[in-house]
């Protein structure tokens, strides 16, 4: 990876809290690095350190050939000198200025003609035509979001920082704009650092993932890799892998591990380097539910566990089933499937999962 | 109108106007600093600025008189430069008025600046605008109500000051004799008619400027008091 932004810094607050910012962003072309973690994990602080709105207490932040922050030499480039676009969670549109004036705010150095041409470009790019004379208070949430994004893009920044860009919107707008946002960012062809606590948003928008917990960077890397192979249980829990339980290896034959998990037996692929104790991570999407639990008919799924339904939690078009299959297990199924099978609390069912969907994390 | 001391009225109006102008020049940067500085000893400066609110005008006037006197460095420097002493002159009165009305300008300004959303200021910085330009383009326009309040209060307060004028300016017609002093003189001389008319004029002017200010601010969502 050709690293473009290299953050290797920390910020310590008077109360002793330390937020770590140690990761790299490739560049200078299109890529989306997602900072992911529960609220209070320090995601926004990292963006503010990158933007120059907070000073680093230790370490450095480099961008391209330039040093942006260096605690050792007390070097701190102010936000004005970093040439970046920053979209805050609350948008912070200037309430006393029109949409056009908000979009053109950072273009004071341009001639009036060049400025209005650029504003027109942004209005077209973000589908805001006809709104240029409105004030922020007269816009819908989605329109405000687009104006704020346009304002951040107006100066053609070399780095884009987005803090929960969709969180202030209603659910349908979020789903629609996620797709549009990724396409827009690809078109702009600049590196983006995006903060979110929404797993689906991270998966949909990101190329690389940085997982944070209480100010610490737990894991970073290619997004699929991080989601499929979390390095420790904390990462798995943050990523929302539904089932994370302790297990014990009983045998490993031909790369396949047999595990004792609770009172059940599971078959899983051996990732190598295992001891005896492991954490078993299973994502709800990977668990299917059937009525009968006889010997597997013609199926590649190696694990068929008799289980009892403890609870059903509807989640939009999906239903999250809490199962007891000898250990607590969650399954994510469609509402339709749930109705077709007539699933109800207390029912005996069969939890089916492929050995390849059982992820093992050593924990000796 | 017969018996009205027009000279005193003209003097009071020009004193109030000049005091307000000087306070605005001094107040914008000082209030900005008070609103945004994180200096640990800032509270001391805040206390000094607020002192004229609680000190008797005679105390303030006494110290000003001492500071302007021919034996003080300021008094000597002034006399060397302009050839006359500072006390009992219009310039001395102006200086005293600026100090006496300081909190009436500073407090509404600082409160207005501090209530501007920090995120808007940071958004401006991230869009490449300097601190000064951010002040001019974001903070000041969003603080217009506070600035208006400071101007009106400083003007009205200067128009009505009495104790400090008497201590520092004395009672020299055309130079330091303001409306409030004129009313006092008229009452002392048992001229109740002119005193009543002058007092009514001051009352009317004060009411009108305050009503004008509140009317302009009546659509503001934040129902704050004037100070």
Answer yes or no: do B124 and A90 touch at CB < 8 A. no
Answer yes or no: do A88 and B123 touch at CB < 8 A. yes
Kindly tell me if the per-residue pLDDT of B1 is higher than 70: no
Structure tokens at A93: 């549109």
Kindly tell me if the per-residue pLDDT of B80 is higher than 70: yes
Q: Which has the closest alpha carbon to A142: A173, A185, A120?
A: A173
Q: Which has the closest alpha carbon to A271: A280, A283, A260?
A: A280
Q: What pLDDT does A308 receive?
A: 94
| B120 min Cα distance to partner chain A (Å) | 5
Answer yes or no: do B120 and A94 touch at CB < 8 A. yes
Q: What pLDDT does A108 receive?
A: 92
**Minimum mean pLDDT among A134-138, B4-8, B119-123, B177-181: which range?**
B4-8
Confidence of residue A210 (pLDDT cuts 50, 70, 90): very high
Confidence of residue B126 (pLDDT cuts 50, 70, 90): very high
Q: Is B136 on the interface with A (CB under 8 A)?
A: no
Answer yes or no: do A79 and B117 touch at CB < 8 A. no
Answer yes or no: do A92 and B129 touch at CB < 8 A. no
Q: What pLDDT does A79 receive?
A: 95
Q: What pLDDT does B220 receive?
A: 66
Confidence of residue A86 (pLDDT cuts 50, 70, 90): very high
Kindly tell me if the per-residue pLDDT of A144 is higher than 70: yes
Please compute the mean of the pLDDT values over residues B53-64 and round it to a whole number. 89
Kindly tell me if the per-residue pLDDT of A1 is higher than 70: no
pLDDT digits (tens, 9 = 90+) for B162-209: 888 888 887 778 788 888 888 888 899 898 988 999 899 889 988 998
Q: Is A103 on the interface with B (CB under 8 A)?
A: no
- To the nearest whole percent, how much of chain B has pLDDT over 90? 47
Of the candidates A79, A95, A109, which has its C-beta nearest B126's C-beta?
A: A79
Q: Is B112 on the interface with A (CB under 8 A)?
A: no
Q: What pLDDT does A186 receive?
A: 86
DSSP H/E element including B64: helix B57-68
Sheet strands (E) in chain B: none
pLDDT digits (tens, 9 = 90+) for A266-284: 999 887 767 788 878 888 8
Q: What pLDDT does B21 receive?
A: 97
| Whole-prediction pTM | 0.77
Q: What pLDDT does B223 receive?
A: 46
What is the per-residue DSSP string for A213-259?
ETTEEEEEEEHHHHHHS-SSHHHHHHHT-SEEEEEEEEEEETTEEEE
pLDDT digits (tens, 9 = 90+) for A88-130: 999 999 999 999 999 999 999 999 999 999 999 999 988 899 9
Q: What pLDDT does A363 receive?
A: 63
| B45 min Cα distance to partner chain A (Å) | 24
Kindly tell me if the per-residue pLDDT of B225 is higher than 50: no
Q: Find how far residue B77's CA is from the centre of its chain.
A: 25
Task: Let me know: does B187 contact B195? Beta carbons within 8 Å.
Answer: yes
**Pairs of CB atoms within 8 A across A/B:** 56
Give the start-to-end residue ranges of the domains of chain A: 5-233, 241-362
Class of domain A5-233: alpha beta
Q: Is A155 on the interface with B (CB under 8 A)?
A: yes
Q: How far is CA B89 from CA A11, A103, A316, B74, in A?
A: 57, 53, 80, 14
Q: Which fold has domain A241-362?
A: OB fold (Dihydrolipoamide Acetyltransferase, E2P) (2.40.50)
Sheet strands (E) in B137-192: none
Answer yes or no: do A88 and B119 touch at CB < 8 A. yes
H helix intervals, A270-357 = 335-341
Three-state SS at B69: coil
pLDDT digits (tens, 9 = 90+) for B202-223: 899 889 988 888 888 777 655 4
Q: Is A53 on the interface with B (CB under 8 A)?
A: yes
Q: What pLDDT does B226 receive?
A: 45
More confident residue, A206 or B138: B138
């Amino acid at each position: 990876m050709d690293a473009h932004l290299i953050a290797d810094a920390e910020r310590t607050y008077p109360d002793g809290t330390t937020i770590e910012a140690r990761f790299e962003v490739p560049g200078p072309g299109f890529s989306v690095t997602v900072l992911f973690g529960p609220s209070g994990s320090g995601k926004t602080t990292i963006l503010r350190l990158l933007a120059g709105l907070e000073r680093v207490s230790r370490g450095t932040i480099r961008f391209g050939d330039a040093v942006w922050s260096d605690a050792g030499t007390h070097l701190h480039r102010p936000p004005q000198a970093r040439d970046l676009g920053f979209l805050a969670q609350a948008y912070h549109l200037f309430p006393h200025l029109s949409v056009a004036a908000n979009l053109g705010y950072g273009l004071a150095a341009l001639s009036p003609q060049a400025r209005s041409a650029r504003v027109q470009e942004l209005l077209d790019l973000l589908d805001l035509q006809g709104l240029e004379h409105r004030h922020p208070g007269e816009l819908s949430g989605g329109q405000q979001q687009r104006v704020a994004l346009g304002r951040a893009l107006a100066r053609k920044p070399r780095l884009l920082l987005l803090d929960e860009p969709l969180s202030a919107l209603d659910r349908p707008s979020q789903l629609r704009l996620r797709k549009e946002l990724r396409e827009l960012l690809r078109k702009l062809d600049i590196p983006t650092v995006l903060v979110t606590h929404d797993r689906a948003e991270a998966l949909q928008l990101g190329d690389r993932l940085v997982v944070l917990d209480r100010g610490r960077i737990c894991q970073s890397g290619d997004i699929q890799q991080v989601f499929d192979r979390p390095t420790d249980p904390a990462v798995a829990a943050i990523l929302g892998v539904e089932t994370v339980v302790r297990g014990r290896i009983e045998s490993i034959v031909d790369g396949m591990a047999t595990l004792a998990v609770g009172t059940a037996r599971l078959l899983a692929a051996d990732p190598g380097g295992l001891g005896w104790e492991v954490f078993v991570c299973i994502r709800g999407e990977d668990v299917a539910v059937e009525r009968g639990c006889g010997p597997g008919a013609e199926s590649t799924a190696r694990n068929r566990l008799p289980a009892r339904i403890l609870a059903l939690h509807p989640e939009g078009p999906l239903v999250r089933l809490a199962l007891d299959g000898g250990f607590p297990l969650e399954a994510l199924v469609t509402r339709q499937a749930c109705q077709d099978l007539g699933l109800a609390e207390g029912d005996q069912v069969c939890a089916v999962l492929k050995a390849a969907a059982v992820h093992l994390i050593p924990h000796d | 109108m017969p018996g009205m001391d027009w000279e005193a009225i003209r003097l009071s109006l020009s004193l109030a106007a000049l005091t307000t102008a000087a306070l605005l020049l001094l107040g914008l940067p000082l209030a900005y600093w008070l609103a945004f500085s994180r200096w640990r000893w800032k509270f001391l400066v805040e206390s000094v600025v607020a002192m004229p609110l609680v000190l008797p005008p005679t105390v303030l006037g006494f110290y000003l008189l001492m500071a302007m006197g021919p034996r003080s460095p300021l008094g000597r420097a002034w006399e060397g430069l302009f050839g006359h002493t500072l006390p009992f002159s219009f310039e001395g009165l102006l200086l005293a008025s600026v100090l006496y009305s300081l909190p009436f300008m500073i407090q509404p300004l600082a409160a207005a600046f501090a209530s501007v959303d920090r995120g808007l200021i940071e958004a401006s910085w991230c869009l490449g605008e300097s601190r000064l330009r951010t002040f001019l383009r974001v903070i000041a326009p969003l603080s217009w109500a506070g600035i208006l309040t400071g101007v009106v209060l400083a003007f009205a307060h200067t128009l009505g000051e009495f104790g400090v004028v008497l201590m520092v300016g004395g009672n020299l017609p055309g130079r330091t004799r303001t409306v409030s002093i004129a009313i006092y003189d008229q009452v002392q001389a048992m001229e109740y008619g002119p005193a009543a008319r002058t007092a009514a004029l001051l009352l009317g002017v004060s009411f009108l400027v305050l009503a004008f200010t509140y009317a302009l601010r009546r659509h503001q969502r934040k129902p704050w008091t004037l100070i």
